Amino acid sequence: MAGAPEGQRPRSSAGELRRFAGLSCLAATDEGRFPVIRNLIFDIDGTLLDSVDLHAAAWAEAFRHFGIAVSPDEVRGQIGKGGDQLMPVFVPKERLERDRETIETFRSTLFTDEYLPKVRPFPGVRALFERLKAEGHVLALASSGKADEVERYQEIAGIRDLVDVATNSDEADRSKPHPDIFEAALGKLGHPAKGQAVVIGDSPYDAEAAVKAGLPVIGVLCGGFPEAQLGEAGCTAIYRDPQDLLDGYDSSILRRGVP
């Protein structure tokens, strides 16, 4: 997948106050330090794995198979949602009521057989998770993917031994941008106190869902969504990718806490 578009500014320097959509975070000053955020909830596709374009291509191919003309570029802007929220964008209501399960089953099999072998982790994923575990964080995955896909994703990312909690589409009635999947993750984490959990995701749908669940959210640009869009959706800080978050960990809200 192509990198983030040119012109996007890098992560803020230490001590700078960044504001997005009325939210703020203070980084890297002793005076501004708050309790370390213990529970970290990660999205997977586009956040840890370079899979957004592959999902878009699989959806477009599945739609074509059923006579629905949609390009991968059109689908790409919807990736981050689960099938329950994505399909209604492209499939007429009457057709959806009749063929929803058939289309989703075809797409799932197609992705697993043809596209999943091409998925790769972004730089720094394993190293980031190792650092986070060493710092005492509890690591959760919250994905709109199916249970078997989430298991495979952990293997591809090389983090299966570092993940404490993982949720999937079976544990949420509605996918992002609804908060259900993050609420399920919070339940598995024991419903941590306010300020003791944060979401890391690549899409505005992650951010919208996190805000609805009452969680702060850190955005990453590696999924391809514009920085401005992530900020408008509620991200309190934005990094290029997992490696950038690792490099900036000491001055991040993960270490410094949320005011």
pLDDT digits (tens, 9 = 90+) for 112-170: 999 999 999 999 999 999 999 999 999 999 987 788 889 999 999 999 999 999 998 88
Asked if pLDDT for residue 257 goes beyond 50, the answer is yes
Domains of the chain: 18-50+121-256 (3.40.50.1000), 52-118 (1.10.150)
Global pTM exceeds 0.75: yes
Residue 259: pLDDT band with limits 50, 70, 90: low
- Residue 14's pLDDT band (cuts 50, 70, 90): very low
pLDDT score for 256 = 85
Q: What would the two tokens of residue 1 be?
A: 């997948």
CB of 117 closer than 8 Å to CB of 152: no
Q: What stretches of the chain show up as alpha helix (H) in DSSP?
A: 52-65, 72-76, 83-90, 93-110, 125-134, 147-157, 180-188, 204-212, 227-233, 242-247, 253-256
Does pLDDT of 248 surpass 60? yes
Selected residue with higher pLDDT from 30 and 179: 179
Distance, in Å, from the CA atom of 110 to the CA atom of 69, rounded to the nearest integer, reads: 17
Give the pLDDT confidence score for residue 222 in this predicted structure. Answer: 98
Residue range 179-204, pLDDT digits in tens: 999 999 999 999 999 999 999 999 99
- Percent of the chain having pLDDT more than 70? 86
pLDDT in tens, 190-245: 999 999 999 999 999 999 999 999 999 999 999 999 999 999 999 999 999 999 99
Q: What pLDDT was estimated at residue 33?
A: 59
- DSSP collapsed to 3 states, 173-219: CCCCCCCHHHHHHHHHCCCCCCCCEEEEECCHHHHHHHHHCCCCEEE
